[in-house]
Amino acid sequence: MKRQFNAHAIVDQLAAIYDESVANLRQALARYVEDRTSPDERSRKKGAFAYPELRVDYAGKGPVTSPSRAFARLNQPGVYATSIARPELFRDYLVEQLEHLNRDYDVTVTAGRSASEIPYAYVIENSGIQVGDISTAELSRFFPSNELIHLGDEIADGVWVQNPDEPRPLALFDGPRTDFSLARLRHYTGTPPEHFQQFVLFTNYVRYVDEFVGVAIDALRRKDSRFTSLSVPGATYEPGELVNAEAEIAAGQWRRHQMPAYHLMANDRTGITLVNIGVGPSNAKTVCDHVAVLRPEVWLMIGHCGGLRPSQTIGDYVLAHAYLRDDHVLDDVLPAEIPLPAIAEVQNALFDATTTITGEDEDSVKRRLRTGTVVTTDDRNWELLYAASALRFNQSRAVGIDMESATVAAQGYRFRVPYGTLLCVSDKPLHGELKLPGQANAFYERAISQHLRIGIEALNLLQREGEGLHSRKLRSFDEPPLR
């Protein structure tokens, strides 16, 4: 008879350990600020400042039938463990993963204290502690701090080295890596990480933000709406607070942040997040590095591209099914020759969403939606290298060029987040139709509303996919169990 299991109780234990460690760390910091009393080393050795640890022991007795899902799978017996940051933020995710493992495998799941300590910088906010003129160098002598040796993506990139005396990794990201990204998300986007939703849109133009805000406000005004609020840099709007919302948001704090985020929130974080990542592969890599720790269900890139085929017209769509990576920002961790597979569920959702939003039949949509290879370059002035570029584009059969899409896709591949790209042709540099100010404004006014709504509709369709959205294409043969 299988023993009783309560995943919520396990997360309760993780949260209790985390809260105790945070309280201990804050109390020690406050004492040090007051009279320079250093923390007790004996207490630290017992885990006074430690992250909680989630541990799964698997003796090797597997299910009669291997689970069909792509995650929460155990491929070999052993002990699996990871430190956990912010357990309450990840409660639903952890409960889902643990319930799968317990149901399908004979495992023992426990919560304890890890060997990793919480860096002091992550607990000062909202603590009331004023460190004054005490330097970070001084605090780091006595309190746990961010040490880069403990941060990295070796597990996600499949280059971690197994120590036979240590547990196998249970998840892609441990506590220090997660806390690092949660702090960076707040810095870059201007919004709390708690407000990020599980369905994410990335864009490279601020005009999509204006359209998204309008769509979000209209959704919140509907009495039957499943959405509960709109979070933007510096403010959160509830349904009854929308009278001047668009003007206030446009004049708000978003300019202070490199990649402002906007969250149309729903229960269980099933709403939609839009991040304006700006232009370039470096920004695209940065935001994906950090959003990934929240384990989103999917992320999509919607933005503009240059059309590379004479048959295309301004306003046509490009649905990427392959990528030519000339972005170079990930070459050291994901060589350019590694193929990025198209995710069938995402491709279908983007096409179906296009037919729904445009109101056109499939044949009509196919005349203005081109499926093919998208080139992502790190050179905004690639046109000045026309001879070399034209040959490479011709060899790759590329149909569009931008500066972010392949980077977003490659990051989805690295971090096991389903990804997809739908771009809108804004110019045709190879064919004499350069993006000029007057032409650009007319194009934007015509195309952005429809394009943004296609992205939202695609996410609505993908939400219905459930666990089937997560493809084994994104999993390695030596995969950590948690999604």
Q: For 346-378, write each residue's pLDDT tens digit.
A: 999 999 999 999 999 999 999 989 999 999 999
Q: Rounded to whole angstroms, how far apart are CA atoms 318 and 312?
A: 10
Residue 323: partners with Cβ closer than 8 Å, 6 or more residues away = 340, 373, 374, 375, 376, 405, 406, 409, 410, 421
The identity of residue 443, as a single letter, is: F
pLDDT band at 382 (very low <50, low <70, confident <90, very high): confident
> Which pLDDT does position 443 carry in this prediction?
60
Neighbours of 147 (CB within 10 A): 11
> Which pLDDT does position 311 carry in this prediction?
86
Q: Is the pLDDT assigned to residue 64 strictly greater than 90?
A: no
Q: What is the mean pLDDT of residues 283-308?
A: 96
Q: What is the mean pLDDT of residues 279-298?
A: 97
Q: What is the mean pLDDT of residues 223-249?
A: 94
Most confident of 45-54, 65-74, 120-129: 45-54
Q: Is the pLDDT assigned to residue 46 strictly greater than 80?
A: yes
Q: What is the mean pLDDT of residues 156-178?
A: 91
pLDDT band at 437 (very low <50, low <70, confident <90, very high): low
* Strands ordered across the beta sheet of 50-58: 107-117, 50-58, 78-83, 168-169
Q: What is the mean pLDDT of residues 291-315?
A: 93
Q: Is the pLDDT assigned to residue 442 strictly greater than 70?
A: no
Mutual angle of helices 405-415 and 281-291, in 10-degree steps? 30
Q: Is the pLDDT assigned to residue 109 strictly greater than 70?
A: yes
Residue 161: partners with Cβ closer than 8 Å, 6 or more residues away = 154
Q: Is the pLDDT assigned to residue 1 strictly greater than 60?
A: no
Q: Which of residues 244 and 432 earns the better pLDDT score? A: 244
Q: Rounded to whole angstroms, how far apart are CA atoms 410 and 447?
A: 27
Q: What is the mean pLDDT of residues 127-144?
A: 91
> Which pLDDT does position 383 carry in this prediction?
77
Give the tens place of pLDDT for each residue, 79-98: 999 999 999 999 999 999 99
> Which pLDDT does position 445 carry in this prediction?
67
> Which pLDDT does position 468 carry in this prediction?
84
Give the tens place of pLDDT for each residue, 198-230: 999 999 988 999 999 999 999 999 999 999 999
* pTM beyond cutoff 0.85: yes
Region class of 70: left (phi > 0), else alpha (psi between -120 and 50), else beta: alpha
Q: What is the mean pLDDT of residues 116-125?
A: 93
> Which pLDDT does position 444 carry in this prediction?
58
Percent of the chain at pLDDT exceeding 70: 95
Which one, of 348, 315, 324, lies nearest residue 425 by Cα?
315
Most confident of 154-163, 237-246, 302-311, 413-422: 413-422
Q: Is the pLDDT assigned to residue 432 strictly greater than 60?
A: no
> Which pLDDT does position 434 carry in this prediction?
59
> Which pLDDT does position 471 carry in this prediction?
83
DSSP 3-18: PP--HHHHHHHHHHHH
Q: Is the pLDDT assigned to residue 161 strictly greater than 90?
A: no
Taking all residues of the chain, what is their mean pLDDT, rounded to a whole number? 92
Q: Rounded to whole angstroms, how far apart are CA atoms 102 and 74?
A: 11
Percent of the chain at pLDDT exceeding 90: 75
Tokens of 282: 């470096």
pLDDT band at 13 (very low <50, low <70, confident <90, very high): very high
The identity of residue 453, as a single letter, is: R
Q: Is the pLDDT assigned to residue 439 strictly greater than 60?
A: no
Give the helix ranges, DSSP H, for 67-173: 91-104, 136-142
pLDDT band at 127 (very low <50, low <70, confident <90, very high): confident
Q: Is the pLDDT assigned to residue 435 strictly greater than 70?
A: no
